[in-house]
Structure 1
Amino acid sequence: MTVRLHPLRIAAQIELISLIAMLANLATAHVKPISSLMGPTHGCAYLFVVIATWRLASATATTKAVAVIPGVGGLLALRRLHRFRVKDETPPAPRGQ
C-alpha cells in the first residue's frame, strides 16, 4: 500500500510560509489584516500537519513528536518519513554464495 504524502507536503509548506509572513509582519508594519489572515491559516495548516502525521501508520513516535514543532515540524516529519520509506523500499542485498 502506498502512502500519499502530497497533502501533508502542501500543508507543511503553507505552515512554514504563513509563519514567516506573520513574523515578518510583526517585525515590520504589523498590518492587522495580514495578522487576521495569516493567524488562522497557520493554525489550520499546523493542525492538519499534526493530525495527518499522527494518522500515518508508517510514522514512528519520533516522527510524530517532530510534527508537533510549529513552523518546521511538518517539513522535518516529511523528511523522516521519506528517509525511512526509501530505506524500507530498498531491496535487501544479495547474500554471498
Structure 2
Amino acid sequence: MRALRAAAAAEAASLVVLLANLLSVHAEPVASLVGPLHGTAYLAAIALTLMTPTASRAARWLSVIPGVGGLLALRRLRADGTDGTEGTDDTGAANGGPPGAR
C-alpha cells in the first residue's frame, strides 16, 4: 500500500508541475523530464491497484482516471476498508485501551 501511495502522490504532483509549466514558461526541459515521470507514475498506480487482491471493482476502475486516478483509488480502498489500515487509528497505532482513553 505504501508503494501505491507514493505512485499516486507522484502522479498528482507531476501533473501539477506539467500544468504549471504549460501555463507559464512552457520550458521544454521540464516537460521532457516530468512527462515520462508522470506516465510512469500513472502506469504504476494502475498496476499497483490491480495487484491489490482486495481492491474492489470500483477502485480498479478509478485507478485508470488520468492524473488523479491513484488518489481516487486510494480513497476508495480506504472507504472499503481494504487498504491495510483496519485495526489502527489515524496515527497507525493499534486501537484499543481503556474506554474513553481517546
TM-score range, shorter chain: 0.7 to 0.9
Unaligned runs of 5+ in 1: 91-97
1:32 aligns with 2:28: yes
Partners of 2:59 and 2:79 lie apart in 1 by 11
Aligned identity (percent) is 46
Q: Which has the higher contact order (CA 8 A, sep 6+)?
A: 1
Partners of 1:7 and 1:56 lie apart in 2 by 11
Instruction: Give the ranges of 4+ consecutive aligned residues of structure 1 lying more than 3 Å apart after TM superposition.
Output: none
Larger helix fraction of residues: 1
Unaligned runs of 5+ in 2: 88-102
- Tell me the CA shift for residue 24 of structure 1: 0.7
Deviation per CA, 1:27-66: give whole Å up to 9, x if none. 1100010000110000000000001101111111111000
Task: From 39, 43, 53, give the equivalent of 1:43.
Answer: 39
TM-score normalised to structure 1 length: 0.82
TM-score normalised to structure 2 length: 0.78
